[in-house]
Structure 1
C-alpha cells in the first residue's frame, strides 16, 4: 500500500540537508577514523545483501514487474489469516523506539487504544517517540551526542561520520540478514534487493530499509481540465509539451500550467537526457548541475515564466509543500510534481478521473525519456549495539512483523486497528473511523512491506499501474545511492541552498541565465568538487 502522506522528492532532499544543518553537534569526536577506510565500494561489494525471497499471501490483480512496477489490488482481503503464531516481542517487556513521522502525531500511549492494540500485537510495551520529519535529524544527533540511544531508531541519511556512527553505536546485522540467513525473517527477505543497498556500510548490513517503489516523482496532470480545453494529454516531444502548457493556461480564469520551478526543472532534465543527480562515467562522479542539459532546462523554465505559464505566486510556492498541492487540487495549476503516493491523495480529494500523470517524452521526440529512479527506500532503521543476541533477534523479528504484507492479519491490524472501533468496511475496503484516524500510530516510517497500488477501484488502480509499468521500463539510476560523502553530510544544506536560490533567481528574471556559470563555480568551491571526489573514492 503506497504511503498516504509521504514526503515528496523535494522533502527527501530537504531532510538530508537538515541533517547537514545540524552537523555542528559533535558526534563521535573521540571515535577512531578507521571505519572510513572500511566504507569503500570494494568492502561494500563483498557485503552479502539479504536473499530476495518474494512472498505473496494474496495474489495481486495486477502483477508487479522485475523492473520495479508495484503490484495492484482492487480489494482488501476481508478475513486475513495470522502470519505469526506468537507476538514477535513476547518476553521482552518494553522496547524504546524513535523515528520520524510525516503523519499527524497521535495521542500518547495511555490515551490511545490504537497504540495499546499495537502493543498487544507486538507482545511488548512500545515506548515510541515521534518527531516530525524536518525536526528529526537534529533530534537524532542530539540523542547520539548525549548517548541516550533507544533500542530502535530511524537513521537520517546522510549523517555526519555515518560509517563511524554505524560501527560504534549500532548493531552489525550482517550475521542475521546476509544471504540466506534472512530467510529466518521471511518478510524482511520479501524486501527487494534495490531497497537494501542504502543499508550497507563498512562492508556489512547495519540497517533495515523502509522500502519504497523505484519510480520517483510523477508530474501529475489535471486530466479533466486538459479534456475540457481539448489539449493533448500525451505530448510526444518538448514542443508538444510546451503547447500543452500554453493550451491549459488562462490567466483570466486564474489558471496556469504550473507553479513549481524546481519540479519542472527536474522533469525537463529527464526529457533532455540529463543523468540522475550524478554521472559516474569512467569512475568520475560529475554532478548533473554541471550538465549543459541542466542549464538548458533552466533557460526553458525562464522562458515559460516569461510567457506567463507559471502561477504568479510561484516564486514563494516552489519552496513550500501545501500551496503546490492546493493549487493543483483547486485547478489553479494543471501540473505539479509530487511523490507517487500523492496520486491517491489527489484522487480522493478531487476524483481519480480528474488525475493522471505524464510519461515524459524525449526532448526531440522518438519515444519515452528515461525517468529518474529513486533510492528504493525512504529511510533506514537501526538497532542499538550491545543488546545481546536474544534481544537483537527479537527486535529483528519485530521489524519482520512490521513488514507482514497485505493478506495477513498483522497488516490489517497495524494499518487500520480494530474493526468497529478504528475502521469499518466500505465498498470492500477498511475505512478509518474518526477515532481510528485520530489515534493512528503510523509505523510505516519504521519499516513496512513493499509498497503496492491500491487496494481500490479497478479503473483507478489500473491507471496508476499502467503508468508505473511504462515508467519502470525506462528508469535511470543515481550511481551515488548507497555511497557516502562526508562533505554531503556536512555541507549538503549549504550546497542545496546555492542551487535552489539560483534556480529561482534565473527563472524569475532576477539574474540572467549566464549567472548559472558563476553559481557552478561557487558550488564547486564550496564543496561540490570535494563531494564528487569523495563519491569517486568510495567507488574505487
Structure 2
C-alpha cells in the first residue's frame, strides 16, 4: 500500500503457516497497516519569543536529536535508512516508560479511519491504552475517504479544533503553512528541538529524516507517523518465471524490455508487463521535482532523464509486451492482472509485497513476487531518490499552558514505544487474552472482540520507527530486508528533501498536462516533439515563475 494515496484494512493474522514467531506478524482483526496524495500569537513556552510568531531556524536546528534506542536487536539491521528486519518474536518485551505519565486529564483527538468506527464507550482496548497513558484520549473518528473535508471545516474555526489532530499529507489544506499551522497548532521547537527531546526517549528514537517533514516555516509543529525512505520497486512473478525456466537477469533497460518480450505469450493470455512508467522514471534517475545543474534550477520535465524515461517506456509499449488492458488505461486492475499471472512485471509500492502474499498464499502456496535488484537504464550505477518517510502527522492545539503541552508530549512518548516494547504491543494489538491469543507457534491470533474494538487510532497520532517482522509470510522478512539493504546504498536526497513547501495556488495545475502527455507518448499517440511544446507552454504558464519561487527558497538557505 502506498501511503500517499490511502490506507487499507489488513487481513487477519495466521492466514498462512509460519515457521518462526513474529511480533509484528500479528495484525489484530480490522487493524490497518501503512505500507500506504487557512491566526499569529506567541508560543507559551518561556524559550519562545513573546508577542509574535517565533523566528524560523535552520531545519537541522528545528528537529530533535536522534538518540536511538534498541530494545530488540534486529536480525537484519538498517542500512542507510532501510527498514530493519526482525525474524522472531522477542522472548520478553521491555516496558520503555516506567509509569503512566498522565495527570488523569481528558484530551480530544481527531483521526481518520478507513474501516468501521469502533465503540468509544466500554471499549476494553481504549481503556487499557488510556490506563497506560494515565490520561484519557477521547477520539473523534472520521471517515478517511472524506477526512479532508472534515479537516477543512474543523480548521476553519479555531475554537472547535480538538486537542490533538491527525493531518495526512494529502489532506493538507490550502494555506496550511502560511496561515493555519502557526495560528492553530503548538510550536514544539522549544520542547523537542535538539537535546530537549531527551525528556521523551521514544520520540528521540525516531530518525531525523522523519522529523524533517514535521517542520513548517522553520519551526517544528508535527509529530510523525514514520514510514520508509524506500517506497517503490519493480516486481516480477518469480514463481512463474521459475516454472517457465526463465532467469530474470536484468542489468539495464534493454534487458528489461527483452525479458518482458520473452515472457509475453498472447496465445495463452500472458503479457510480460504492465505500464512501467514508474520504473522508467526510477531507472533513468528522473528527479522527483527539481534539481540543480550547476547553479541553475531545472524542473524534472526539462531534464534529459525525463526525456529518456519517456522514450524507454514508449519503446516498451511499442514492443507488444504490455498487457492490452494497461494500454487501454485500466490501471486499477493492474494488481489483479499481475497476481493472477496475466502480466508478469509491474511497478508498485514496497508495501504491496506483503499484501500480495497475504492475498494469494492461501490459494496459491507457491506465489512469490520479487523486486528486481536496482539497476540503471544505461547499465551504470543506479540512483534512487528517497521517498518521504512521513506522510501522516499530528498536531497539538496551541495552548498557553506549558504543562498541558508537556503532558501531551509525554503521552506521545508512550505511544511512540518501538518494536519490542510493551507499549508497542498494547497500542498496536490490544490486550493479550482479550483481543488476541497465541497459537502453538507463538503467533498472536485476534479474538472476535478485536474486530470490533481494535481499530487504528492511536497510531495516527505518533509512532515509533518502522520495523518489518511479518514472518507469517515465510521468507518475506529476509527477502525484503536483503533487497532494501542492497537498494539503500544507492539512496540520495532529492533537492528540497524534508522541506515542507507550500506552492502558490496559481501554479497548482500547470503540471497536470504532463500526466496525460506521459500516457500519450508511452502509447505512441504523441511523440517527444510534443514534449518540447508542452515544456514551453509550462514555462510561459507559470513554470518560470515557479522556478523563481523555489530559487528564492534556495537563496535564503
- The answer for unaligned runs of 5 or more in structure 2 is 8-36, 43-52
The CA deviation string for residues 493-531 of structure 1, in whole angstroms up to 9 with x for no partner, is: x24532222222222333333222233334334443333
Question: Alignment length, in residue pairs?
Answer: 506
The answer to whether 1:539 aligns with 2:539 is: no
Q: Does 1:441 align with 2:455?
A: yes
Partner of 1:512: 527
Match of 2:31 in 1: none
Confirm or deny that 1:227 pairs with 2:225: no
**SS of corresponding position for 2:553:** helix
Which of 122, 126, 131 matches 2:137? Answer: 126
**What SS is found at the alignment partner of 2:66?**
coil
Match of 1:15? none
Instruction: Single out whichever of 311-320 and 148-157 deviates more from structure 2.
Output: 311-320
2: CA distance, partners of 1:114 / 1:326 = 35
Report the CA distance shift for 1:525/1:317 in structure 2 as closer, same or farther (over 3 A): same
> How much has 1:284 moved relative to structure 2?
4.1
| Distance in structure 1 (CA, Å) of the matches to 2:89 and 2:41 | 50
Structure 1 runs not aligned, ≥5 long: 1-5, 13-17, 19-26, 33-37
Counterpart of 2:402 in structure 1 is 389
> CA 1:338–1:440 in 2, change beyond 3 Å: closer, same or farther?
farther
Answer yes or no: is the 8 Å Cα contact 1:169–1:384 preserved in 2: yes
The structure with the largest alpha-carbon Rg is 2
Seen in structure 2, the aligned counterparts of structure 1 residues 306 and 50 have a Cα distance that, compared at 3 Å, is: same
Report how far residue 379 of structure 1 moved. 2.2
Using the size of structure 2 for normalisation, the TM-score is 0.83
**TM-align CA RMSD:** 2.9
Which segment drifts farther, 42-51 or 241-250?
A: 42-51
The one of 74, 77, 96 aligned to 1:83: 96
Secondary structure in 2 matching 1:55: coil
| Partner residue, 1:467 | 483
User: Against the structure 1 CA distance between its residues 220 and 353, is the aligned structure 2 distance closer, same or farther, given a 3 Å change threshold?
Assistant: same
Offset of 1:119 from its aligned partner?
3.2
Q: CA deviation at 1:133?
A: 4.7
Distance in 1 (alpha carbons) for counterparts of 2:322 and 2:449: 40
Residue 412 (structure 1) aligns with: 425
Q: Is the alpha carbon distance of 1:431 and 1:289 closer, same or farther for their aligned partners in structure 2, counting shifts above 3 Å?
A: farther
Matched, 1:153 2:144: no
Alpha carbons of structure 1 residues 243 and 130: separation in structure 2 relative to 1, 3 Å = farther
How far has the Cα of 1:52 moved from its partner? 0.6
Match of 2:66 among 52, 74, 78: 52
- Provide the TM-score with structure 1 as the length reference: 0.85
* Equivalent residue, structure 1, for 2:377: 363
Residue 228 of structure 2 is aligned with which of 207, 210, 213?
Answer: 213
Q: Quick check: 1:276–1:477 contact (8 Å CA) kept in 2?
A: no
Residue number among 437, 443, 447 corresponding to 1:429 in the alignment:
443
The alpha-carbon distance between structure 1 residues 453 and 316, as it changes in their structure 2 partners (threshold 3 A), is farther
> Are 2:153 and 1:142 aligned?
yes
Return the structure number with greater helix share: 1
Does 2:217 match 1:202?
A: yes
Alignment of 1:268 onto 2:268:
no
Shift of 1:142: 1.9
Q: Partner of 1:24 in structure 2?
A: none
- Native 8 Å contact 2:117 2:141 kept in 1: no
Q: What is the aligned counterpart of 2:309 among 292, 297, 306? A: 297
Cα distance between partner residues in 1 of 2:147 and 2:494: 25
Task: Identify the residue that residue 299 of structure 2 maps to in structure 1.
Answer: 287
Give the counterpart of 1:480 among 496, 504, 517.
Answer: 496
